[in-house]
Amino acid sequence: MKKRLLPLTLALTLFFPAAVLVRADEKPAAPDGKPAQKEEETELGKTMEKLNGAWRKLRKQVADPASNASSLELVATVKEQTEKALTLQPDKAKDIPEADRAKYIQGYQDKMKEFMAKLEKLNAAFKANDNTAAAALLKELGTLQREGHKEYKRPDK
């Protein structure tokens, strides 16, 4: 009897972890039992990803006057992506009733224009080598970004 249990135990030990790893690759099931689908990527989402890459680099080097030339290029990238985002609509607008949708989209565009105005000031601060003012403006822009995301970005799942 002991001779039969040993191979069975070894087989279960070897194959069971592999079964767990194979199952780990599967997508989790949605509440209705069907596999969950990945949320489709929107044009605005792609634009914001490009903006975010430049934004992170800019935050890291804002205080360094030696990086002002690079910072100006990053601000130009953020501005370019913001201008592109201004022409797009947030995906969350689809969830807004038709009667209120135009007002919602106008609010989004106004917030983006306010962001762009602060970007112009940030650009001027870097040109003037005023990194203290640039850091303060970047902080204000970060606050605008968080407010905008709270109101206009669909929550991440």
Q: Which domains does the chain have, with CATH numbers?
A: 43-152 (1.20.120.10)
pLDDT at 41: 82
pLDDT at 156 over 90: no
pLDDT in tens, 132-152: 999 999 999 999 999 999 999
pLDDT at 1: 57
62 touches 122 (CB < 8 A): no
Dihedral of CA 86/88/92/96: which sign?
positive
Please give the model's pTM, rounded to 2 decimal places. Answer: 0.70
Q: Which long-range contacts (CB under 8 A, 24 or more apart) does 133-140 make?
A: 134/62, 134/71, 135/62, 135/63, 138/58, 138/59, 138/62
> Mean pLDDT across the stretch 64-76?
95
Q: Confidence class of residue 37 from pLDDT cuts 50, 70 and 90?
A: very low
- To 10 degrees, the CA torsion angle through 82, 128, 63, 115? -20
pLDDT at 54 over 80: yes
pLDDT at 35: 47
